[in-house]
Amino acid sequence: MHHQSTVIIIDDDPLIRLVVARTLQAAGMNTLEASSGEEGLRLFKDNEIDAILLDVMMPSGIDGYATCYELRNMPEGKHLPILMMTGLEDIESINRAYEVGATDFITKPINIPLLSHRVRYMLKGSFTTQQLLQSEQRLHQMAYFDDLTELPNRHFFQESLQQMIALAQRKKLKLGVLFLDLDGFKRINDTLGHHLGDLVLQATSERLRKSIRISDTFAQPVISQGDISLARLGGDEFTALLPLIERNEDAAIVAERIRIKLAQPFIFGEHELTTTTSIGIAVYPDDGETSEDLLKNADLAMYYAKRSGGNMYCYFSNYMMEMAVRKLSMESHLRKAIERDEFYLHYQPQFDVEKGNFNGVEVLLRWENKELGQISPVEFIPLAEETGLIIHIGEWVLRKACNQAKIWCNQGIPLTRIAVNVSAVQLLHTGFAEMVNDALTECSLDPSILELELTESALINDVDVVINVLRELKQVGVQLAIDDFGTGYSSLSRLMNFPIDRLKIDQAFVRNLEENSDNGAIATAIIAMATSMNMKVTAEGVETNTQLDFMKNKSCNDVQGYYLSKPLPVDQAEEFFIKKYQL
Ligand code: C2E
Ligand code: CA
Ligand code: CA
């Protein structure tokens, strides 16, 4: 454990003691307070002390100089760091402070943000004042500014936000916090290298500086006092603080101006790059009264702007908060869903176009929770993936599905396929193929009946790892399908590397086939391509007879969709098959 320093603050002014103590505590130090020199000396005798902050002028009892002198004459006080707080920046009082043995001095009014750095620095060893004065500037730079862009950093931002809140409160004015995040910055960094990434960040900062100059714009926000201040929080995250605005709309004027400015292309050597920006806005006091709340809410609003496609600004709203709260509560319920037996499966029949009979099912997970009600997989699957819970949940689905398939096979239902959705997270989890093999042997199901549906995006990351897992799965003997095909980025040549048996045409290309000829062309191309590569094709989301006919004409192998059957609970699925096959 790292030793926590204890510092005595000796000052007759209770307000200064309070502020200094808070500051040092926030920097991880213990503090003791004394309102007079005598009390300070007593505290020093009775405690293990690492440093002392000492006011020079104290009206009653001994003053700071005398206290310092006394301290230096005590055996434990010889090497004690003592920081004198003088109200007077004259050479004489500073000289006197050194004469009585002060390690360093600081002038009042105290520069609060710097104080903890000064104390920590002093605690590290005995530095001469000269060294300290030189390093102060550097320290200030390091502690408050970002090297890359020379913008103020997160620390600086938080402190100025706090100060502005206090001011806005007094003046009964509003305050705008803009949270900016570049869209697709990670891609630039990953594909073009960190050097170019750095250039983008620097150029972005430069544009930000320009875009907040108010004079050169028509629409002028009403900013009663002070300038807009910028900061870089880290990575590709920036903030702009709009001091003392009168109307919430003023924040949007600035946000829009920034958005436009940043959406212009950058040119670096031979590279022309365009990055857009998502901006979240939170306004004091409407959207939060503390700096933490405002920043958090502006961040949340940014997240919504990004999720709505990026290159836009979004105001924080309570709805977002509700959604975030819902997500948290959902997560905690999701953790207990298996043990509480809240999951069950639906089965959607699949139809063999050529033979004209049903031949398989897709397994779709359902979740019903007492408090939250019925939750769509579209909502909870991404959360399960994010939290890693999908590993456990996915295994449950697979085992359950295999058991059910076995039961149906035993009943004589000629099921040739049970398709189970598998997330990228599961696929990359070590031992996945082994688990699948386990599940199959446990209920002695023919592996070739099981089809795993993988998304395109699951295949494009960690290609080497993925190919290995897919080979293992082929050895187990299962079928592999690519789900939602056409929405991802896979190129044909890339697909050739994977041992894939089937493509599922995404619903988006099946829907509106009648009106949208592009969709028809894409579906046709996918079928032709798959056939040439010896893959089967399933069209999903077939809702009309016209769509079914289209697939028939194009020799699509299988179809699935509301037109043939909705996903059914287990007993209805059973009934459906028994009726269809006249068992
Ligand atoms: P998906 O794999 O694309 O599944 C097909 C979705 O389309 C299902 O939605 C299904 O109910 C719906 N659907 C079927 N036919 C039609 C139709 O004719 N018209 C329309 N409009 N929709 C149709 P669902 O059940 O809400 O599932 C949504 C998604 O959740 C699935 O999309 C899949 O990505 C995911 N999911 C469901 N169960 C699991 C699971 O066990 N594991 C994983 N990893 N993901 C799952
Ligand atoms: Ca699917
Ligand atoms: Ca799908």
Are residues 164 and 89 part of one domain? no
Q: What is the mean pLDDT of residues 123-146?
A: 59
Q: Give the environment of ion ligand 2: residues with CB less than 5 A.
A: 421, 453, 483
Decide: 483 in ligand 1 pocket, CB within 6 A. Answer: yes
pLDDT at 272: 87
**Which of the four pLDDT bands, split at 50, 70 and 90, describes residue 458?**
confident
User: Bridge partners of 83?
Assistant: 53, 104
On the 0-12 / 13-18 / 19+ scale of CB atoms within 10 A, 373 is: exposed
Domain annotation covers residue 352: yes
Say whether pLDDT at 225 is over 50.
Answer: no
Q: Is 77 in the pocket of ligand 1 (CB under 6 A)?
A: no
Residue among 513, 504, 573, 515 nearest 540 (CA): 504
Last residue of a domain, one of 144, 174, 198: 144
The answer to whether residue 86 is domain-embedded is yes
Tell me the C-alpha distance between 515 and 513, whole Å. Answer: 6
Task: Evaluate: CB of 538 within 6 angstroms of ligand 1.
Answer: no
Do both 367 and 499 map to the same domain? yes
Q: What is the pLDDT of residue 224?
A: 40
Q: Is residue 480 part of a domain?
A: yes
Mean pLDDT rounded to a whole number for the chain: 88
Q: Ligand 2: distance of its center to the CA of 382 in Å?
A: 14
Cβ pair 159, 115 in contact under 8 A: no
Q: Is residue 365 lining ligand 1, measured as CB closer than 6 Å?
A: yes
403 lies in the same domain as 284: no
Tell whether the model's pLDDT for residue 321 goes beyond 70: yes
Q: How many angstroms does the Cα of residue 362 sit away from the middle of ligand 2?
A: 7
pLDDT confidence tier of residue 190, bands split at 50, 70 and 90: confident
Instruction: Please list, in sequence order, all residues whose beta carbon lies within 8 angstroms of the beta carbon of residue 124, skipping any fewer than 6 positions away.
Output: none
Query: 84 CB less than 6 Å from ligand 1?
Result: no
- For ligand 1, say whether the CB of 348 is within 6 Å of any of its atoms: yes
Measure 344 CA to ligand 2 centroid, in angstroms.
Answer: 16
| Nearest to 72, CA basis, from 93, 50, 42, 103 | 103
Distance 445 CA to ligand 3 centre (A): 24
| Nearest ligand for residue 377 CA | 1
Kindly indicate the confidence band of residue 489, based on its pLDDT and cuts at 50, 70 and 90.
Answer: low
Residue with tokens 């920590």: 120
Query: Band of the pLDDT at 119, cuts 50, 70, 90?
Result: confident
d(CA 467, CA 470): 5
Residue 492: its pLDDT value, please? 62
Q: What is the pLDDT of residues 334-365, one digit of tens each?
A: 999 999 999 999 999 999 999 999 999 999 99
Look at residue 239 and tell me whether its pLDDT is greater than 60: yes
For residue 397, the ligand 1 atom closest to its alpha carbon is 41
Residue 484 CA: which ligand is closest? 3
Query: Which pLDDT belongs to residue 114?
Result: 76
Distances (CA, A) of 62 to 35, 72, 99, 563: 11, 15, 17, 93
The reply to whether 83 and 105 lie within a common domain is: yes
Which residue owns the Cα nearest ligand 1 atom 43? 421
Residue nearest to atom 8 of ligand 1 (CA): 364
Average pLDDT over residues 157-173: 87
Pocket probe mutation, ligand 1, options 367, 398, 418, 421, max atoms within 8 Å of Cβ = 421
Give pLDDT tens digits for 363-415: 999 999 999 999 999 999 999 998 999 999 999 999 999 999 999 999 999 99
Residue nearest to atom 13 of ligand 1 (CA): 541
Q: Give the per-residue pLDDT at 137.
A: 59
Predicted pLDDT of residue 215: 44
User: Is 479 close to ligand 1, i.e. is its CB under 6 Å away?
Assistant: no
Residue 487 Cα to ligand 3 midpoint, Å, equals: 10
Q: Please tell me whether residues 131 and 186 are part of one structural domain.
A: no
Given this model, what pLDDT does residue 487 score?
77
* Residue 201's CATH number: 3.30.70.270
Indicate the number of domains in the chain: 3
Task: Please report whether residue 322 resides in a domain.
Answer: no
| Domain at 52, CATH number | 3.40.50.2300
Residue 171: the pLDDT is 84
Of 276, 264, 260, whose CA–CA distance to 311 is shortest? 276
Which residue's alpha carbon is nearest to atom 32 within ligand 1? 378
> Do both 526 and 574 map to the same domain?
yes
Q: Is 60 helix (H, G, I), strand (E, B) or coil?
A: coil
Instruction: Indicate whether 295 and 402 sit together in one domain.
Output: no
The CATH number covering residue 376 comes to 3.20.20.450
Alpha helices in 477-544 (DSSP H): 492-496, 507-510, 517-532
Considering only CA atoms, which residue is closest to atom 46 of ligand 1? 421
Q: Look at the chain and count its residues.
A: 583
Task: Identify which ligand lies nearest to the alpha carbon of 427.
Answer: 1
Residue 27's pLDDT is what? 81
Q: What is the pLDDT of residues 513-566, one digit of tens each?
A: 888 888 898 899 899 989 988 999 999 999 999 999 999 999 999 999 999 999
377 lines ligand 1 (CB under 6 A): yes
pLDDT in tens, 495-511: 778 999 999 999 999 98
Ligand nearest to the CA of 458: 1
Confidence of residue 26 (pLDDT cuts 50, 70, 90): confident
Q: Does residue 401 lie in a domain region?
A: yes
pLDDT digits (tens, 9 = 90+) for 274-318: 899 999 999 999 999 999 999 999 999 999 999 888 999 999 998
- CB of 306 within 8 A of CB of 181? yes
Kindly state the percentage of the chain with pLDDT values over 90.
59
Within a domain: 138: yes
Considering the domain boundaries, does residue 1 fall inside one? no
Pick the last residue of a domain from 112, 144, 176. 144
Ligand 1 center to residue 540 CA distance, Å? 10
Residue 84, phi then psi, degrees to nearest 5: -90, 135
Quick one: three-class SS letters along 78-128? CCCCEEEEECCCCHHHHHHHHHCCCCEEEECCCCHHHHHHHHHHHHHCCCC
| Last residue in a domain, options 144, 177, 210 | 144
Residues 255 and 398 in one domain: no
Model confidence pLDDT, tens digit, residues 417-457: 999 999 999 999 999 999 999 999 999 999 999 999 998 88
Distance CA 243, CA 501 (A): 60
How far apart (Å, rounded) are the C-alpha atoms in residues 375 and 381? 10
Answer yes or no: do 203 and 94 share one domain. no
pLDDT value of residue 229: 86
Do 38 and 172 fall within a single domain?
A: no
In a domain, 321, yes or no: no
Q: Is any ligand 1 atom within 6 A of the Cβ of residue 430?
A: no
384 lines ligand 1 (CB under 6 A): no
Helices (H) and strands (E) in the chain, counts: 23, 22
3-state secondary structure 272-338: EECCCEEEEEEEECCCCCCHHHHHHHHHHHHHHHHHCCCCEEEECCHHHHHHHHHHHHHHHHHHHCC
Range of the domain at 35: 6-144
Ligand 1 pocket, residue 378 CB under 6 Å? yes
- Is residue 75 domain-shared with residue 166, that is, in the same domain? no
Residues 6 or more apart whose Cβ sits within 8 Å of residue 157: 229, 231, 233, 239, 241
Same domain (yes/no): 118, 193: no
- pLDDT for residue 375: 96
- In which band, very low, low, confident or very high, does the pLDDT at 323 lie, cut at 50, 70 and 90? confident
Q: What band does 159 get if pLDDT is binned at 50, 70 and 90?
A: confident
